Amino acid sequence: MTNVEKRVTELVEQKLTEKPNVFLVSVKMHSQGRLVILIDGDNGLDVGDCAEVSRFVGHYLEEENVLTDAYTLEVSSPGIDAPLTLPRQFLKNIGRQVSIKLTDGSKREGKLLALTANHVQIEEKIKPKGKKAELIESNIPSEDIVETKVLISFK
């Protein structure tokens, strides 16, 4: 993490103490001066939350002269197609359908039931050959998971 990313992380966390339902996902300084802050909320996020964080961070970056070159500041949510990275993101999505990519290259899909320190629990539909499909609760070890994404349903 660069010094800029560290300082921006501190600023965002300071601002979010006023908003306990909103949390920081990541801060990344990209090439050509593009600074991207991703935040999320336990009950969703609105444009006002992003604007407040942007104004707060932008003010202090200018005041402290943290960045000497021109930069672009972007504050947004990770987006629906972004992988879940923090325990808090998993917890807010309990009950939703997820797709889990494993280290062996396989995928598992099911309803997210729980998250522990060691595994993700899902309810998946298993259809043995020649038998009726059944719902099974499965614990997937955290070390076997490469990526977890929420599945979007338009039904």
pLDDT, tens only, 116-147: 999 999 999 988 888 888 999 999 999 999 99
β-bridge mates for residue 37, sequence order = 27, 75
- Do 104 and 52 lie in one domain? The reply is no
- Do 110 and 59 lie in one domain? The reply is no
The 10 Å Cβ neighbour count of residue 79 is 7
- Do 44 and 92 lie in one domain? The reply is no
Name the amino acid, one letter, at 39.
I
- Do 56 and 117 lie in one domain? The reply is no
Q: Is residue 155 part of a domain?
A: no
b/e map 120-138, b = 16+ CB within 10 Å: bbbebeeeeeeeeeeeeee
β-pair type (107-115, 134-141): unpaired
The enclosing H or E element of 110 equals: strand 107-115
Q: Domain limits at 61?
A: 3-76
Q: Is the pTM of this model over 0.75?
A: yes
The CATH number covering residue 111 comes to: 2.30.30.100
For residue range 58-98, what is the model confidence (pLDDT) as tens digits?
A: 999 999 988 888 899 999 999 888 999 999 999 999 999 99
- Do 9 and 37 lie in one domain? The reply is yes
How large is the angle between the packed helices 47-64 and 3-16, nearest 10 degrees? Answer: 130
CA proximity to 16, closest of 43, 47, 56, 64: 56
What is the count of structural domains for the chain? 2
Q: Which of 76, 98, 127 is the last residue of a domain?
A: 76
Q: Which of 12, 42, 76 is the last residue of a domain?
A: 76
- Do 18 and 59 lie in one domain? The reply is yes
